[in-house]
């Protein structure tokens, strides 16, 4: 399944300015293999820190904390005699004095005694207020985000439904709660050339048999009928390949657990469309009349009977 543009997995890359471009006309993009599909511009650090995985957020905050305290420790070294009971020339003593100041822990046997050291303490105390406020705000913003746990099928199938070719994909909620007022949209994006010979990338919204569900708790098979009104009518795989077709799907709803709107999306290339296939069933019945879902077969398909 193709990732949503521009979220493509690629190795770390640095984009250098071309000749004639000023420094403010380019930016650094990066992506690291194994970190899912995230990258951002360094000029947008807020979005970067909101979207990177938690472990890398903690690593970055730890680096910020130690680098900042290390910088102040170097400044304290120039006036180490202004710190009572500190060993002269000891970076460790200056570093821990900085940690005490930054964290407002309070001083024990070490405390400032000179004007230079008190000025640094005042400056670090101010920086610590801003730093703690920013880190707390970022952590709260990350915790308050509504992250969807929606599972999209790896492929899209086309098979007859009521004697009409129908395109189908499958979605499921991976959490044990309900998504209320769920809505889904399906779009077809491909290359077109107008009658005047102008090339452009066009997006068609595909009409669905049902694009709304009051509650999404188990699975949902999304269906688009390929009839005379569909842009996919009488289109074969070679046409989709030539036009570089891409299916885009987006789902929104209200997460009942936190009462916030959530969004999820996925995309499919022409090679992800399986003709004359159907999804394997994932809903099973127990002997006592209950139903359960086995998501281990969620992505599996099989050819339809002739």
Q: What is the pLDDT of residue 291?
A: 76
**Residue after which a domain boundary falls, among 92, 119, 144:** 144
Q: Return the pLDDT at 17.
A: 38
Q: Which residue has the tokens 């708790």?
A: 217
pTM > 0.75: yes or no: no
pLDDT at site 14: 37
At 177 the pLDDT is: 83
In order, the DSSP letters of the chain are: -PPPTT---------PPPTT--GGG-------TTSTT----TT-HHHHHHHS-HHHHHHHHHHHHHHHHHHHHHHHHTTGGGBTTPPTT-HHHHHHHHHHHHTT---SS--B-SHHHHHHHHHHHHHHHHHHHHHHHHHHHHHHS----EEE-SSEEEEEETTEEEEEEEEEE-SSS-EEEEEEEEEEEEEEE-TTS-EEEEEEEEP-S--EEEEESSEEEEEEE-STTSTTTT--HHHHHHTT-EEEEEEEEEETTTTEEEEEEEEEEGGGEEETEEEPP-EEE-TTS-EEE-GGGTT-EEEPP-
**Are 93 and 225 in a shared domain?**
no
- Residue where a domain stops, chosen among 144, 166, 189: 144
pLDDT of residue 12: 33
Query: Do 220 and 91 belong together in one domain?
Result: no
* Domain co-membership, 166 together with 254: yes
CATH number at residue 130: 1.10.287.70
Residues 84 and 176 in one domain: no
CA distance 54 to 67: 20
What pLDDT is recorded for position 297? 84
Q: What is the pLDDT of residues 240-253, one digit of tens each?
A: 889 999 999 999 99
pLDDT tens readout for residues 247-301: 999 999 988 877 788 889 999 998 999 999 999 888 887 778 777 777 888 888 8
pLDDT at 43: 67
The domain of 68 spans: 44-144
What pLDDT, on the 0 to 100 scale, is given for residue 3?
39
Confidence at residue 54, expressed as pLDDT on a 0 to 100 scale: 87
* In contact, 158 and 165? CB cutoff 8 Å: yes
| Residues 261 and 154 grouped into a single domain | yes
In a domain, 30, yes or no: no
**144, 159, 178: which is the final residue of a domain?**
144
Residue 248, beta-bridge partner list? 187, 267
| Residues of the chain scoring pLDDT < 50 | 1-38, 40
- In whole angstroms, what is the distance from residue 246 CA to residue 4 CA? 10
Please give the share of the chain, as a percent, with pLDDT higher than 90: 35
């Amino acid at each position: 399944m193709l990732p949503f543009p521009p979220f493509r997995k690629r190795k770390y890359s640095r984009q250098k300015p071309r000749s004639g471009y000023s420094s403010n006309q380019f930016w650094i993009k990066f992506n690291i293999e194994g970190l899912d599909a995230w990258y951002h511009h360094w000029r947008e650090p807020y979005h970067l820190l909101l979207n990177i995985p938690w472990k890398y957020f903690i690593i970055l905050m730890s680096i910020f904390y130690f680098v900042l305290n290390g910088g102040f420790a170097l400044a304290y070294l120039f006036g180490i005699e202004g710190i009572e009971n500190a060993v002269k020339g000891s970076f460790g003593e200056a570093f821990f004095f900085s940690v005490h100041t930054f964290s407002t822990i309070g001083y024990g046997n070490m405390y400032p005694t000179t004007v230079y050291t008190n000025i640094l303490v005042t400056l670090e105390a101010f920086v610590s207020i801003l730093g703690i406020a920013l880190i707390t705000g970022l952590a709260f913003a990350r915790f308050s985000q509504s992250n969807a746990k929606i599972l999209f099928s790896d492929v899209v199938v086309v098979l007859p439904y009521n004697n009409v070719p129908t395109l189908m994909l499958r979605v499921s909620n991976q959490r044990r709660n309900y998504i209320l007022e769920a809505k889904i949209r399906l779009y077809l994006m491909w290359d077109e050339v107008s009658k005047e010979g102008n090339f452009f990338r066009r997006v068609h919204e595909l009409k669905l048999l049902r694009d709304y569900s009051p509650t999404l708790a188990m699975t949902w098979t999304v269906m688009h009928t390929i009839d005379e009104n569909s842009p996919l009518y009488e289109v074969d795989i070679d046409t989709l390949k030539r036009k570089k077709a891409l299916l885009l799907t987006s789902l929104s709803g209200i997460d009942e657990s936190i009462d916030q709107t959530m969004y999820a999306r996925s995309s499919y290339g022409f090679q992800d469309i399986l003709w004359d296939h159907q999804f394997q069933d994932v809903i099973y019945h127990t002997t006592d009349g209950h139903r359960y879902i086995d998501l281990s077969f969620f992505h599996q398909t099989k050819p339809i009977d002739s």
